[in-house]
Structures are given as structure tokens and as C-alpha cells.
Amino acid sequence: MRPKSVSLVQLNVAVLMWGGTAMFAKGIALPVTQVICLRSLIGAGGVLLVLLALRSPLRVNQTRHYGLMMILGLLLCLHWLTYFKALKVSTAAVAILALHTYPVITALIEPFLFAEKLRKSDVALALLVFAGIVIMTPTMSLSNSTTQGIVLGVVSGLFFMVRNLLTRKYVHQYSGSALMFWQMLVTGLVLVPWLWPGGSDISPKTGGLLVLLALVFTALPHSLFSASFKHLSAKTVGIIATLLPFYGAFFGYLIHDETLALRTVIGGLIVLAGIVFETLRSVRT
């Protein structure tokens, strides 16, 4: 397979696995800070074992890059905190859709950061995807929890966008697994003070869900996602990643028997059209 095709496979597998993340966020009865902290520390431990087993390099090339890892870790921490809080206060669909406004901003900002030409088709495609997301979002009032979920989701997307752009710039120097290890380690350590305020009991079921979330639905897909930047632009990755609402809706139907409203279907088809177009264009170029 061509390197770009491999990156597309890595990206789509990662997004598929992320589709089940929302189900864990809604099912683990712990505060958001504790879920993120434990998810990060367990995930970092899992990635570390893999790196050691494969004898993959773990240290950074330059001392100043430890600062880069710290920044990426803080961005991941803020992204997860705001995203999981959005999942807690609103529905999974609202949180996921609000998060995926970030490709629109990425498509407009990325060319200026990487000395690339801003094409009109990029703007049009980004607006198409954004229009689909808007259609899928239900009518909201600024005083309800749905509005809170959307605001948190959009903010989470901004943190995610900045992390993606920095990852694209430095990913050629480090493997996706190494990058993910450092980011999860920083996230977990930053949130350790909030791990057990007042003492929280973790049942065997909750512990099992945390391990599954951390290793299978966090460490693995994030490593694949980071690796996909080696041959794909952040804009391409962001637009293809908008498949996440579809995967999330599928898992919601499969696990919780959730159904889709007509406007969700219509908006979803618009988003899907943009994703298919971007995927085909990425493979051919």
C-alpha cells in the first residue's frame, strides 16, 4: 500500500474506535478529572510497555522538545477535560458534533502556518461540513445544558486543533506512540491532585471500564491518529475524522438503542459527502 493509503487506514481505524469513547464517558460514574487522570496514566503505562517491548526510542531528540511534549500534553488535557465535561452535561451526539467544528477552523488556519496555498475548494468543503454539522445540531436555548455541551465541545475542538497542528510539525521526528506516551503522561500527572478528593471508591466494573477505555479506546487509536499525520495534512485528518459522529451514533444505537432524528440524517449525509470527497482527493494527490 502507498504510504498515504496506510495513513488513511490508520486514521479511519482510530476514528472508528473513538466512536465508542462516548459510551464510556457516559457509563463511568466518576468525576471528569478522575476519569481523565486514570485514563491517561493507565494509557501511558500501556504505551510504555509496547515501546519497551519493541525497543522503540522514547527519549526526545533535543532538551527543548521536553517543553514541546509538555505543551502537547497540556493541550490534550484541556481537550479531554472539556470534551468529557460536554459529554456529561449534554448528549453524546451534541458533544461530538460540537467538537467537530474544528476542521472548519483548521482548513482556514493551516495554510498560513505551513506556507501553503489556501484554495477556495478547501474553504467551500469546510463550510459544507460545517453546514452539515449545524443541520444535525438541534434547536437550543442559551440557558439549557445542550448549549453548555456545544460551547464545551467547540472549545475542546479548538484545543484539539492546536494540538494537531503542532503534531503535524514535529511528528516526523517521533513515532505516534512516543508522542502519545508523553502527552498522556503529562495529562495524568497534571490531574493527579484531583484524583481522589475526599476518597472515591472504584468498583471492579468501573476499573475494568477504565482499563478498556485507556488501552483499547485511547492509547491505540491516538497512536494511530498521530501516526496518520506523517502523510496527511491536518485539514484532511480533521475532515475525515468527522466520521466520528456516525460511529458514535452507531454505537449508541447498538448499545443504548438510540435513534436518529431526520435532521441528523440529513446533516449527516452532507458531512459524509464532504468526507468522501476529501478522502478520494487525498488518495489521488
Q: What is the mean pLDDT of each run of 10 residues along the chain (285 residues)?
A: 84 85 77 91 90 84 86 95 87 78 77 77 80 75 73 90 83 77 94 74 82 85 78 75 75 69 76 71 61
| pLDDT for position 143 | 67
The model scores a pTM over 0.85: no
Angle formed by the axes of helices 92-99 and 244-256, nearest 10°: 170
For the range 64-68, what are the long-range contacts, defined as Cβ-Cβ under 8 Å and sequence gap of 24 or more?
A: 65/170, 65/173, 68/166, 68/170
In contact, 72 and 166? CB cutoff 8 Å: yes
> What is the per-residue pLDDT for 280?
65
pLDDT of residue 187: 96
User: Which pLDDT value is given to residue 41?
Assistant: 94
Residue 22 and residue 38: Cα distance in Å, rounded? 16
Give the pLDDT of residue 48.
92
**For position 282, what pLDDT does the model report?**
59
- DSSP per residue over 82-130, as a string? HHHHHHHHS-HHHHHHHHTTHHHHHHHHHHHHTT----HHHHHHHHHHH
Give per-residue burial for 143-167: e unless 16+ CB within 10 Å, then b: eeebbbbbbbbbbbbbbbbbbbbbb
| Rounded to 5°, angle at Cα 47 from 67 and 62 | 25
| Grid cell of 62 as nine digits | 533535543
Burial class (CB in 10 A: 0-12, 13-18, 19+), 13: middle
Q: Which amino acid is at 26?
A: K
- Those residues whose C-beta lies under 8 Å from the C-beta of residue 13, and which sit 6 or more positions away, are 221, 224
**Confidence (pLDDT) at 199:** 53
Give the domain ranges of the chain. Answer: 3-284
